[in-house]
Chain A
Amino acid sequence: MAGTLAEKVWADHVVRRGENGEPDLLYIDLQLLHEVTSPQAFDGLRQEGRLPRRIDQTIATEDHNTPTIDIDKPIADITSRTQIDTLRRNAQEFGVRIHSLGDRDQGIVHVVGPQLGLTMPGITVVCGDSHTSTHGAFGALAFGIGTSEVEHVLATQTLSLTPFKTMAINVTGSLKPGVTAKDIILAVIAKIGTGGGAGYVLEYRGEAIRELSMEGRMTICNMSIEAGARAGMIAPDETTFEYVKGRPHAPQGEDWDEAVAYWKTLRSDDDATFDAEVVIDADELEPFVTWGTNPGQGLPLSAAVPAPEDFVDETDRYAAERALEYMDLVPGTPLKDIKVDTVFMGSCTNGRIEDLRAFASVLEGRTKHPDVRVMVVPGSARVRLQAEQEGLDEIFLAFGAEWRQAGCSMCLGMNPDQLAPGERAASTSNRNFEGRQGKGGRTHLVSPVVAAATAVRGTLSSPSDLGAPVAPAAPSDLQPTA
């Protein structure tokens, strides 16, 4: 029978088919752990006298709580330090591989997995973190779970799950220069809404997706959860194989050939049916930005702040009213007139080397707006090393940005990197929820190049708003279309 990519990966992992409405028992190939959602899971194992079933399919890193400066000193926040120490103790007690602060392989869990070559096409990946959907960029079925499920996977290497529905997101055409993967996913979420993907695994398809690098694909799959989807996937292709090849844990020799032969079968059949389908025209896309307090409240950067009356649905109208109040925005204000205090460049959405390169390419030879603070936080210690090898750090520092150590940083207001109440940020992260980046902080989600242009002008901006030196593309290509 014809199947979609998600259905094929699912079928290859069913340990036991559920009967009479019971869920299927699904095998989990890889579990990633971090300090926040694992302590109670290890505690549960201890209480029941259980051991992790497969420590060789488990890996831990420290990211959410970790500071991004002075990492050689003890963590000042005592509760953060306790959580990190608890993870280290648990890893030692149960024999789980861990990459701690200061280690070259430490970093945001979703940057570390792909970087080590542990994330592969066709596998199942879980982590107690909703952005586990990132790994779907490889054609893996990857999703976030709660702490009880973390314990369940530690103990059994399986999860009981009800099959998902599938939704095709067809992104036709090609992106214009200055428009990126981040703009695709923000446009998708604005179109289907924060609950639009509920019950679905999204499969991103089409020419514009095929043209993306692995890093761009990870940005897209990362934010599938912001549309309410359980996972996002992209069928593996030569771009995927090229990225995985030669990484520390990638298959080698004959294993590699066997793996690739299997991976090539991982695509939705031509006659497969999706439960829902959405089309986005990449040719028409322009840089996107959020104006509200959920990731679905986004618009093209050339638009103006909407008025609550613009929304037909009563719930949407009320949500817009509340969001505008929290964001302190006046309807009708051009988005490009909104001043920001902070630019945050980083996170599991946009903290990889390509993101840093894109950010640096806009900053280079330009001057930072005096009122803006710019934080650049690599997604992993290795990304930081690579950026330094390429001299990107010098561009950041010359521009007046802070160049920090790897971690989740200002994405989530859990470590010292936070917005002050009332502060406004252009952020390459994934969530613009109330207080997400610090109590009372206001977040506009943007791509790395929009973040960079904003750092130059001090208001939300795209690279096409900047004077020379400009990207080598023809200026007409950079003009917004609407």
Chain B
Amino acid sequence: MEAFTTHTGIGVPLRRSNVDTDQIIPAVYLKRVTKTGFDDGLFNAWRTNDPEFVLNKPAYAKGSVLVAGPDFGTGSSREHAVWALRDYGFKAVLSTRFAEIFRGNAGKQGLVAGILSQDDIEQLWKILEETPGAEVTVDLENRQVHAGESTFRFDIDEYTRWRLMEGLDDIGLTLRHEAEITAFEATRPAWMPKTLPARTADSV
């Protein structure tokens, strides 16, 4: 994973709440077995059916910082939602509240999910709508968003921030504690579920 310190790019005001992961990428786009190439699925229904949709406006089309309403990323656990945002070119999503699985997935893929107050989100929307194509800077080190003359503070949990800034691989980090995992396994009762050897019911 690439380390993230600051990013500056076009801000995209998405004035919608409850943007669920089916809206971010519909299920029909989840059939690939690769980890890239999901950008065509991003917000597909809105991009194809709604000329007024923000990403259909040329000034915002190359956006890389999404500013969304509350409860962003609800619903399905599909990490494809993060891959689609990333493949499209987004580096950060700002909202007042994220669904937890989405937030976790974002942290694994180097996409910053920053939490701001509703007032700050409203101000960002105003700036980005008044000046379409305006740039926004996301400064992860100082947890700040700069837009126009304004600076806002965002929240992100300390552990995720550290991992993003270091660009660390999670599995590698965990495997440093392999001995502790093995020790824990030795304490598990014998009756805990085992899928193998496979057993099945004799009758219906």
Contacts and interface: CB of A to CB of B under 8 A. Distances in A.
A296 to B, nearest CB: 8
Contacts of A194: 18, 71, 74
A431 B18 contact: no
A40 interface: yes
Given A29-B193, A195-B70, A146 B201 contact: no
Interface SS of chain B: loop
Interface size class of B (residues with CB under 8 A): 35 or more
A30 B193 contact: yes
B177 A16 contact: yes
A430 B195 CA distance: 28
Contacts of A256: 191
Contacts of B109: 148
A191 to B, nearest CB: 16
Interface in B145-204: 157-159, 170-171, 173-175, 177-178, 180-181, 184-185, 188-196, 198-201, 204
A27 B184 contact: yes
A145 interface: yes
A385 B170 contact: no
A23 B28 contact: no
Nearest to B35: A40
B34 interface: yes
Contact of B104 (A48, A145, A155): A145
Interface string A150-194: 011001111010100000000000000000000000000000001
Contact of A152 (B23, B171, B178): B171
Given A144-B77, A146-B104, A259-B189, A55 B196 contact: yes
B184 A15 contact: yes
Interface string B9-50: 000000111101011001110111111000000000100000
A37 to B, nearest CB: 7
A50 B184 CA distance: 21
Nearest to B184: A15
B78 A36 contact: yes
Interface string A216-256: 00000000011010100000000000000001110100011
Interface string A103-132: 011000000000111111001000011101
B184 to A, nearest CB: 4
B2 interface: no
Nearest to A433: B22
A46 interface: no
Interface size class of A (residues with CB under 8 A): 35 or more
Given A40-B35, A145-B77, A162-B159, A25 B199 contact: no
B114 interface: no
Contact of A146 (B16, B26, B77, B191): B77
Contact of B192 (A29, A116, A162, A294): A29
Interface stretch (A76-84, A269-277, A462-470): A76-84
Contact of A105 (B158, B189, B200): B200
B71 A148 contact: no
Nearest to A127: B77
Contacts of A132: 77
A4 interface: no
B174 A152 contact: yes
B181 A15 contact: yes
A198 interface: yes
B195 A58 contact: yes
A268 interface: no
Nearest to B118: A315
Interface stretch (B56-64, B93-101, B135-143): B93-101
B65 interface: no
Contacts of B159: 18, 21-23, 160, 162
Given A58-B195, A412-B27, A195 B77 contact: no
Residue picked from B15, B71, B188, most chain A C-beta under 10 Å: B71
Given A37-B78, A128-B77, A156-B171, A97 B196 contact: yes
A146 B83 CA distance: 11
B23 A21 contact: no
A27 B181 contact: yes
A284 interface: no
Interface string B108-122: 110000000000000
Given A83-B31, A412-B27, A57 B100 contact: no
Interface of A: 15-16, 18, 21-23, 25, 27, 29-30, 36-37, 39-40, 43, 48, 50, 53, 55-59, 64-65, 77, 79-80, 82-83, 86, 97, 104-105, 115-120, 123, 128-130, 132, 144-149, 151-152, 155-158, 160, 162, 194-195, 198-199, 225-226, 228, 230, 247-249, 251, 255-256, 258-259, 262, 294, 315, 318-319, 322, 382, 385-386, 389, 412-414, 431, 433-436, 439
Q: Please list the 4 inter-chain residue pairs (A to B) with the smallest Cβ-Cβ separation, ordered nearest first.
A: A146-B79, A251-B191, A146-B105, A148-B108
